[in-house]
Amino acid sequence: MKHKRKLNNPLKINIFCLFVCIFWGSIGLHNSITARAAETAEPDPAFQAWLQAFYARAEKKGISKKLCRQAFAGITVPDPKVLRKAAFQPEFTTEIWDYLDTVVSPANIAQGRAMAKKYRDWLKKISDRFGVDTSVLLAIWAIESRYGAVLQHPERLHYIPQALATLAYSDKGRREFGEQQLIAALQILQNGDVKLAQFYGSWAGAMGHTQFIPTSYQLYGVDMDRDGQRDIWNSVPDALATAANLLHKNGWRTGISWGYEVKVPQNGVRYRGKTKTLAQWRKLGFFRPNRRSFPKPATRAELKMPAGKLGPGFLCQRNFFIIKRYNNSDFYALAVSLLSDRLAGKAGMVQGWPRPTTALFAKEKFQLQELLHVQGYYDGAIDGDLGSGTRKAIKDFQKKVGMAQDGKPTRAVLEALQRAGKF
């Protein structure tokens, strides 16, 4: 089953956060990027006219034209990559098992445990102040920026003022959002919260370790380390506290589980989307896979079945829906929930997903990348994340051996690579 939804959360809009990132640059980097943009594309007069009209609207919001001109120095065209990424959002189009394979991964679990030790004192302070479990904050950090690692990849960056201007100018469905966020971004810049050279992030304007869009940053930003700045770009304590503040202010319940994996009885799919107490669910034949009881049977929970009638069920409580205030996706909330369980030392899922026979399991995705690398088709990270680099390598391999060049990571491709590796 494909998972497709419109992004409709006014507080926070992310793409599959493994593709969202920010780079700590320099003024020289900003100038070189904008200069290259001007050199490689003809100036767009209509876009430039839109900018001039926008400056007048921004001035009414208290933003000086001088700042606007500085922010858009050298920018003569919309960012073409922004609209391409806006049209493809993996967490809203990817199969649930592929999404979770990438997010609830051994690498994210291992690194999360290391980060828990490294930032133990700060995490305790943040959890004590906002009442949010440290494992949840670590899971969000992992999904949003791989614990900050993706911030080091300038090739994936978007200059935030240009990205948001692109949405406001070019995307009819996101014009209001784009201009609202652009105004907020320039206010942040004008307030001195961030330097122009650091203003890089996602196609939708998300910023920092925990990927906040400008309006959400304004609402929830926290100066946790008390250095006089709400710095989600460089300060891990500030970034994690800002995420905790969002959850807290939206009604997070301290010490309460997000929910439970359950076995769905025959014909139980008819209850999908229904809300009942855990005791009522148990009477209907919904049990945890290990047959353990529900700790608080009077708690209400909604049945989610993200893979349809053939997949496992999840009884989701209030905190699951609070996570969705961060990113309005069931996939995202389930990923944060399952990863946070693992980071808290709990067991993983018991039931499997209804993968097609052609689909690869998580370990096989690593093997696919390793074989592509050994045979000279792929030089990227061996991380199980089968993105554009892996798919291009698959196409190159398929061309070499005479297969249809669709770039899909199927079992047939893995078996062909295995055979090729024997010769």
Tell me the pLDDT tens digit for each residue of 94-150: 799 999 999 999 999 999 999 999 999 999 999 999 999 999 999 999 999 999 988
Say which range, 11-25, 175-189, 293-307, has the weakest mean pLDDT: 11-25
Q: What's the pLDDT score for residue 93?
A: 56
> What is residue 32's predicted lDDT score, i.e. its pLDDT?
38
By three-state DSSP, how is residue 38 classified? Answer: helix
pLDDT attached to residue 208: 93
CATH number for the domain including 368?
1.10.101.10
Q: What is the pLDDT of residue 94?
A: 79
222-231: list long-range contacts, CB under 8 Å, 24+ apart: 224/122, 224/125, 224/126, 229/193, 230/193, 231/193, 231/194
The set of residues, in sequence order, having a beta carbon less than 8 Å from that of 83 and lying 6+ positions away, is 166, 170, 171
Q: Is residue 22 pLDDT above 80, yes or no?
A: no
Alpha helices in 255-387 (DSSP H): 278-283, 318-323, 330-343, 362-374
What does the pLDDT read at residue 422?
77
* Residue 304 φ then ψ, to 5°: -115, 135
Counting residues of the chain whose pLDDT is more than 70, the rounded percentage is 88
Answer with the one of 223, 249, 275 that is the final residue of a domain. 249
Give me the pLDDT at residue 198, please: 85
Q: Which amino acid is residue 19, in one-letter code?
A: F
- Cβ-based burial of 318 (10 A; exposed 0-12, middle 13-18, buried ≥19): middle
Same domain, 267 and 294: yes
In a domain, 244, yes or no: yes
* Most trustworthy range by pLDDT among 291-300, 317-326, 387-396: 317-326
Residue range 236-246: mean pLDDT, rounded? 98
pLDDT band, very low/low/confident/very high, at 388 (cuts 50, 70, 90) = confident
Read off the tokens for 219: 């609402």
187 shares its domain with 84 = yes
Q: What is the number of other CB atoms lying within 10 angstroms of the CB of residue 223?
A: 16
Which is nearest to 224 in space by CA: 214, 204, 213, 210? 210
Residue 260 has pLDDT above 80, yes or no: yes
- Per-residue confidence band for 278, with pLDDT thresholds at 50, 70 and 90: very high
Shared-domain flag, residues 159 and 83: yes
pLDDT of the residue at 25: 32
In-domain check, residue 143: no
User: Is the pLDDT at 39 greater than 50, yes or no?
Assistant: no
In whole angstroms, give the CA distance from residue 87 to residue 384. 23
Helix (H, G, I), strand (E, B) or coil at 263: strand
- Give the model's pLDDT for residue 176: 94
Task: Tell me whether residue 108 is in a domain.
Answer: no
**Weakest-pLDDT range from 22-31, 251-260, 378-387, 399-408:** 22-31
Query: Does one domain contain both 385 and 404?
Result: yes
Q: Are residues 82 and 215 in the same domain?
A: yes
Task: Decide if 400 is inside a domain.
Answer: yes
Decide if 174 is inside a domain.
yes
Residue 368, domain member (yes or no): yes
Question: Is it the case that residue 316 has pLDDT exceeding 80?
Answer: yes
H helix or E strand, kind and range, residue 316: strand 313-316
Range of the domain at 269: 259-316
Of the three residues 249, 270, 296, the one that is the final residue of a domain is 249
The answer to whether residues 54 and 162 belong to one domain is yes
Indicate whether 380 and 272 sit together in one domain.
no
Residue at 105 is within a domain: no
> Which are the contacts of 298, defined by CB distance < 8 A and separation ≥ 6?
277, 278, 279
What pLDDT does 89 receive?
57
Q: Does 44 map to a domain? A: yes
**CATH number, position 222:** 1.10.8.350
pLDDT band for 171, please (50, 70, 90 cuts): confident
234 & 266 share domain:
no
Percent of the chain with pLDDT over 90: 78
At residue 333 the predicted structure's pLDDT band, cuts being 50, 70 and 90, is very high
- Look at residue 34 and tell me whether its pLDDT is greater than 70: no
Q: Which of 13-27, 196-210, 280-294, 324-338 has the lowest mean pLDDT?
A: 13-27
Residue 284 has pLDDT above 80, yes or no: yes
In this structure, are 229 and 284 located in the same domain? no
Domain endpoint, select from 249, 280, 304: 249
Span 362-386, pLDDT tens digits: 999 999 999 999 999 999 989 888 8
Burial class of residue 415 (count of CB atoms within 10 Å of its CB; 0-12, 13-18, 19+) = exposed
Residues 236 and 183 in one domain: yes
Domain count, the chain: 3
Give the torsion through C-alpha atoms of 28, 35, 215, 11, to 10 deg: -120
Asked whether residue 311 falls in the same domain as residue 369, the answer is: no
Q: Do 240 and 288 reside in the same domain of the chain?
A: no
pLDDT in tens, 46-82: 999 999 999 999 999 999 999 999 999 999 999 999 9
Mean pLDDT, the chain, whole residue set: 88
Q: What is the pLDDT of residue 41?
A: 66
